[in-house]
Amino acid sequence: MTKAAQPRLAVLISGRGSNLQAIIDACASGELPAQIALVISNNPDAAGLQRAERAGIVAVCIDHREFGSREAFDEALVSELRAHAVDLVILAGFMRILTSVLIEPYLGRMLNIHPSLLPRYPGLNTHQRALDAGDSEAGATVHFVTEQLDGGPPVLQASVPILPRDTADSLADRVAVQEHAIYPLAARWLVQGRLVLEGQYATLDGTAIPSTGIPYTPALE
């Protein structure tokens, strides 16, 4: 497949873009057979915008604070995505609650990564919540985006043990390593047409994925 024929991705970010970098690297190596057509941030100070520019990717800021509603902001996102003929959307630390204005046109074509072992700890402060609960492990989950916040069908999940001296920051650092492994892999399955959203379920190669996602092992790659 030529690069011109590859699916066109948009990556949406709000911060430093470490998962964006993992996606950039996977596309560059051929591990992820797609091209990143666009990076969008809602934060003009997001370091990930510079990552995109260094990689020669179109980088755009659409500041949510300039819009009167979530729906109006999402309409601007959809307009930009369509202007760049985007096929698939990858949310990588995009700190906005999305509405149906964005979700419906890309339903089944939009993934997110969440820093917890969903369904545990949707929302924010996931690592501290895991520590406060006395959990023995933490992790990250790639899931399809639906209108339920962090509630779309899980695809792939990786875990790390919680160590006695862990802080939220040290735990986040170890979980991030796993995020960078599982997100390009799940995106590859989506690009290849192997990963499909079917109603309330996700399937891989026609087989239903467990309700907590496929447990990640390096052998999956």
Note every long-range contact of 123-126, with CB atoms under 8 Å and residues 24 or more positions apart, other chains counting: 123/149, 123/150, 125/168
Radius of gyration of the chain from its Cα atoms, rounded to whole angstroms = 17
Task: Give the Cα separation of 135 and 208 in Å (integer).
Answer: 28
* Residue 90 contacts residue 84 (beta carbons within 8 Å): no
Q: What is the pLDDT along the chain (221 residues), one digit of tens a residue?
A: 345 579 999 999 999 999 999 999 999 999 999 999 999 999 999 999 999 999 999 999 999 999 999 999 999 999 999 999 999 999 999 999 999 999 999 999 999 999 999 999 999 999 999 999 999 999 999 999 999 989 999 999 999 999 999 999 999 999 999 999 999 999 999 999 999 999 889 999 999 999 999 999 988 87
Q: One-letter amino acid identity for 130?
A: A
Residue 71 CB neighbour total at 10 angstroms: 12
**Residues with active-site annotation:** 114
The rounded distance, in Å, linking the Cα atoms of 92 and 22 is: 10
Whole-angstrom distance, CA of residue 221 vs CA of residue 216: 9
Beta bridge partners of 197: 202
Its CATH architecture, for the domain 3-216, is 3-Layer(aba) Sandwich (3.40)
